[in-house]
Amino acid sequence: MKASIIVFSPSGHTLKAAQVFKRELENKNIGVQLINITKNSKYLQSSQAERYLGEELDEHDVLLIGGPVYAGHIEKNILRLIELLPEAGGKYGDLAVPFITYGGVHSSIALEEMGRYLKRKNRQSILGVKIAAEHTLTKTFAKVINGTKPGQLEEKIIADAVDRMISIAGRDDKKTKDAGKSFLYSKLSERILYHIFSQEFFHKKFKDVNIDLQKCLKCKKCIEVCPVNMFDYVDGTVKMVRDKKECILCAECYHECPADAIRNPYMEVARKRLKDGCAELEKEQSAIYPAAGDLF
């Protein structure tokens, strides 16, 4: 059996989860390819992304694909990548395992969206994994949400998911059912809300991150940390070189700037929405769907 993992991880937590998946799979002697699209202009900025993916994606039986939850949705860059995937068939098996990391507040329709998009590519989600992680917007809040996650508990859940994945993928009959329906775990009212309001709806009015050049030390840290390459060093100054709407509001530049030179209008909104780190958390923080009792 062979597996490929594709991950987008602006702040590193989904990447950590992907690496745990890889380790657990390799411990079971399964060959694993890991494609990290974070900061990767081939996938994020090129009109040839589909071709690159076709060239780079190895033969596999199972495709694991992961990204963070942003505003109750799966972050749009990883969703776009699913749209660019070659259809299952030939050297690509049709089994998929979507996984998400989220700040523990609401994962809403993120896994469901991934399942739906994977289905369009002829891929059946045999299970989905929801992993609690540090809420990266709360890094500088009075109380950091889930600051130590993903930790041991989440690693155990990933190990269990790998065991289940191997047992389902190894079945002889290959008549595996799509588990996408089990991703509808959020309350109906919440699902309806996030179906109506897109990620862009919640974020677009705040996409006005800019640099205070009076404060900027030209250390280029923002260039280094931006997962979607918004910044570059041009004519002796750090500049935003992509359209502001491509900014994903991850706030990595804001958190990492040593001179407090990044203005990010979303941070104050997030501070209020997340009550400075005291937001109510989703009941089941990390889980595998379908639940063990509902195995098909």
Ligand X SMILES: Cc1cc2nc3c(=O)[nH]c(=O)nc-3n(C[C@H](O)[C@H](O)[C@H](O)COP(=O)(O)O)c2cc1C
Residues of this chain that interact with ligand X (CB under 6 A) are 9-14, 68-72, 101-107, 133-137, 249-251
Nearer to ligand X, 105 or 157 (CB): 105
Rounded to a whole number of angstroms, the distance between the first and last alpha carbons of the chain is: 21
Q: Minimum Å distance from CB 162 to ligand X?
A: 19
Task: For Cα atoms 104, 264, 206, give the angle at the middle one, nearest 5 degrees.
Answer: 80
Q: Answer yes or no: are the C-beta atoms of 159 and 24 closer than 8 Å.
A: yes
Nearer to ligand X, 133 or 169 (CB): 133
Q: Minimum Å distance from CB 108 to ligand X?
A: 7
Peptide bond into 290 cis (omega under 30): yes
Nearer to ligand X, 88 or 225 (CB): 225
Task: For Cα atoms 283, 198, 228, give the angle at the middle one, nearest 5 degrees.
Answer: 95
DSSP 228: T
CA atoms within 13 Å, Cβ hemisphere of 209: 31
Q: Minimum Å distance from CB 14 to ligand X?
A: 3
Q: Minimum Å distance from CB 11 to ligand X?
A: 3
Q: Answer yes or no: are the C-beta atoms of 125 and 180 closer than 8 Å.
A: yes
Q: Minimum Å distance from CB 2 to ligand X?
A: 24
Q: Minimum Å distance from CB 218 to ligand X?
A: 25
Nearer to ligand X, 105 or 162 (CB): 105
Nearer to ligand X, 43 or 92 (CB): 43
Nearer to ligand X, 97 or 137 (CB): 137
224 to 67, 124, 131: CA distances (angstroms): 20, 36, 26
Q: Are strands 124-125 and 92-102 parallel, antiparallel or unpaired?
A: parallel
